Amino acid sequence: MKRRGRSAFRRASCAVVFALAVALVLPLASPAAGVPVLLVYGFQPLQLWQTFAESWSGRSIAEAVRIELDSTHAFYIMPAVDAAHADVIVGNYANSFEPTVRSLRYYAVRLSDEVAWAISTLGVLQVDIVAHSMGSLIARCVIESADVGDGASPADSGSVRTLVTLATPHHGAELALVPLWIGPISDDLRPSSDVLTALDANGLNPRVRYVSMAGETCIGCGMSRDEAACLRECVVQALAWDGSDLVVSMESAWLSGAENTVCVGMNHIDMHCHPALADAVAAVLRGDPAPSVVFASDKLRAAAAFGP
């Protein structure tokens, strides 16, 4: 009886916390700001979204409001400062105090809950998702209804307007990298895994706009005797989609049926914190066509003879 009483008290406490969080968010959220943006990380900490989140919401990340769905699932929202900005939700699908080791399907259920919260609480019809690395595969499980599992339903197919994937191993991670991870997630990330095969079989959701951005960088141009020649070689390699961000190959990041963008001079971490990329993604979310290429520096732009 005591255990049951504590459980009931815990549920009641979570309900109170949730109600208070909603009361804080609703006056701040700005429907005039348009479609909110949900940021989905891969393996990196939440804080690495700071550049994107602050630029798009107009607020400091210190102003983020914590939303607790239950005792194991909390994420954050940064309401738009005005109508020129967007409400930004910093997702957090992993269990509290637990490494990211569970399956893509398990995390997809939790991400689906975050999408549902945004739709019901912010009073919007759709969200945009910007996801990094493995987080994009979780997002695809949600919007493509790829056997989410656990008896849960994925987010309604019409609730996501745009998916921008950054540095994502759509076709699996290299086997040499997978042993660095433990748990079911390592099997899911292998090329031709069951979940990746299901994504391929389902195909892209025709109601969602897809943009896939792939990073490419090399090491050592600054130490080369002929830096300009090295930079030109890096650009040529990137534009041929024959390189990597030092973690994910460009070949794996290419998504057939999506608008694909080359991000020259950006490594895996740059792909969710580089200011030039934040600006490019913001333009995409405003409805602009995805650029074919984004440069990390003026040196790389000059090396490609695209201008000064």
134 or 173: whose pLDDT is higher? 134
Contact 116, 155 (CB under 8 A): yes
Mean residue pLDDT across the chain: 82
Helix, strand, coil percent values for the chain (each to nearest 5): 45, 15, 40
Hey, CA dihedral for 40, 46, 52, 54, is it positive or negative? positive
Whether residue 108 has pLDDT greater than 60: yes
Three-state SS for 134?
helix
- Alpha carbons within 13 angstroms on the beta-carbon side of residue 100 total 23
Q: Which of 161, 158, 82, 167 is nearest to 133 (CA)?
A: 167
Whether residue 106 has pLDDT greater than 50: yes
> In the 8-state DSSP scheme, what is residue 226?
S
252 contact partners, CB below 8 Å, separation of at least 6: 168, 169, 170, 171, 172, 173, 191
Phi-psi region of 208 (alpha: psi -120 to 50; beta: other; left: phi over 0): beta
19 band by pLDDT with thresholds 50, 70 and 90 = very low
| pLDDT for position 147 | 56
Phi–psi pair at 144, nearest 5 degrees: -105, 5
| pLDDT for position 22 | 44
Q: Which of 175, 145, 243, 184 is nearest to 253 (CA)?
A: 243
Q: Which domains can be identified in the chain, with CATH numbers?
A: 2-303 (3.40.50.1820)
Lowest mean pLDDT among 20-34, 121-135, 212-226, 279-293: 20-34
| pLDDT for position 256 | 96
pLDDT digits (tens, 9 = 90+) for 162-191: 999 999 999 998 643 444 556 677 888 888
pLDDT digits (tens, 9 = 90+) for 207-235: 999 999 999 998 766 556 667 788 888 89
Contact 166, 272 (CB under 8 A): yes
Neighbours of 188 (CB within 10 A): 25
The angle subtended at Cα 198 by Cα 196 and Cα 200, nearest 5°, is: 70
The whole model's pTM is what?
A: 0.85
Contact 285, 52 (CB under 8 A): no
Q: What percent of the chain has pLDDT over 90?
A: 56
